[in-house]
């Protein structure tokens, strides 16, 4: 007969194995991002979040997943000006890429109050301005759908032993946030010091003309600026602050993988990177702009775009 102490030890051992600390694979000098204490990283949680990221059952009619707008070939941006929602509602803003999103202090183009990935999950799934995935008012539907799947039930148990595998919106948000935090991108030619001469010159021009805002390891200061003429349809930061001075201000976008995340600007109105640079009125001549473009191209991380760990999980629970 197995004693209670042995059973307790076995249960603790199993829980520890499932929720083992996440091993960040980061280059020298890069510190791990801040993670919410109530949602520590684990391999099981990341695997669950990966499957949820590609699951269209998170939308009201089963036609849109997170990956519908965040495509890996575009560094998890979209390639379109904006993206309509499930009911055909016009999109308001260009879809941002997700590389190194775990390190970003602000997670939307114009709302500084959204500072955790767990909170951001609600915007596309339940948001109304605009409607994207259309689940507002149907919050119970997502747990109902997922609970019908034996594989999901197993994955939630593995990912959340402390919650007894409970399937609810909170656990969904935690798993999605964990997968998004795993999207690490620090393997570009610029990171490796493998710049061609034109890109070397472009880096110097960039440091002089652009780095006051596009600073730090992800090339953003996380602050808000008005670059384009104010559009009364989208007031930018002013929608959150109600301050006239914030009309038309939007977050400085991070520039990792920028060459594959176009079109550019919060409204997707710049069809080329050259056009986006010119709109900044940085007083660059044509040669300097070409050099900066070469540097921006060197910020593309092919290993990130092609990493199978971020792709659609073909068989999350194994054969059978």
- Reference 257, options 292, 206, 203, 300; nearest CA is 300
Q: What is the pLDDT of residues 206-236, one digit of tens each?
A: 999 999 999 999 999 999 999 999 999 999 9
Mean predicted confidence (pLDDT) in 9-21 = 44
Distance, first Cα to last Cα, the chain:
33
* Residues 102-119: tens digit of each pLDDT: 999 999 999 999 999 999
Q: What is the mean pLDDT of the chain?
A: 93
**In the block, which residue shows the tokens 């039930």?**
153
Domains in the chain (CATH in brackets) are: 18-184 (1.10.760.10), 189-300 (1.10.760.10)
- When pLDDT is cut at 50, 70 and 90, the band that residue 281 belongs to is confident
pLDDT digit string (tens) for 158-190?
Answer: 999 999 999 999 999 999 999 999 999 999 999
Per the structure block, which two tokens stand in for 229?
A: 């003429």
Judge whether residue 6 has pLDDT over 70. Answer: no
Between the CA of residue 90 and those of 86, 87, 247, what are the distances in Å?
10, 9, 21
Q: How far apart are CA 149 and CA 158, in angstroms?
A: 14
| Per-residue model confidence as pLDDT tens digits over 45-86 | 999 999 999 999 999 999 999 999 999 999 999 999 999 999
Q: Directed axis angle between helix 150-159 and helix 169-181, to 10°?
A: 70
């Amino acid at each position: 007969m197995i004693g209670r102490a042995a059973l307790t030890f076995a249960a603790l051992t199993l829980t520890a194995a499932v929720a083992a600390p996440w091993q960040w694979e980061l280059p020298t000098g890069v510190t791990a991002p801040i993670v919410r204490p109530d949602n520590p990283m684990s391999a099981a949680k990341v695997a669950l979040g990966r499957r949820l990221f590609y699951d269209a059952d998170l939308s009201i009619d089963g036609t849109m997943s997170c990956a519908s707008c965040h495509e890996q070939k575009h560094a998890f941006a979209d390639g379109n000006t904006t993206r309509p929602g499930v009911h055909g509602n016009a999109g308001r803003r260009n879809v941002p890429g997700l590389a190194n999103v775990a390190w970003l202090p602000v997670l939307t183009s114009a709302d500084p109050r959204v500072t955790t990935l767990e909170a951001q999950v609600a915007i596309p799934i339940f948001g109304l301005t605009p409607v994207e995935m259309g689940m507002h008012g149907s919050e119970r539907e997502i747990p109902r759908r997922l609970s019908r799947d034996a594989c999901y039930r197993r994955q939630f148990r593995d990912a959340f032993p402390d919650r007894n595998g409970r399937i609810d919106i909170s656990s969904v948000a935690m798993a999605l946030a964990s997968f998004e935090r795993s999207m690490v991108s620090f393997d570009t030619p610029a990171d490796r010091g493998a710049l061609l001469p034109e890109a070397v010159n472009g880096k110097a021009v960039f440091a002089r003309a652009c780095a006051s805002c596009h600073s730090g390891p992800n090339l953003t200061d996380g602050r808000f600026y008005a670059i384009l003429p104010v559009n009364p349809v989208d007031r930018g930061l002013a929608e959150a602050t109600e301050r006239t001075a914030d009309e038309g201000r939007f977050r400085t976008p991070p520039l990792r993988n920028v060459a594959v995340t176009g079109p550019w600007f919060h409204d997707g109105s710049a069809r080329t990177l050259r056009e986006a640079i010119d709109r900044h009125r940085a007083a660059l001549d044509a040669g300097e702009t070409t050099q900066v473009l070469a540097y921006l191209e060197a910020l593309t991380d092919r290993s990130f775009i092609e990493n199978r760990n971020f792709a659609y999980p073909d068989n999350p629970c194994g054969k059978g």
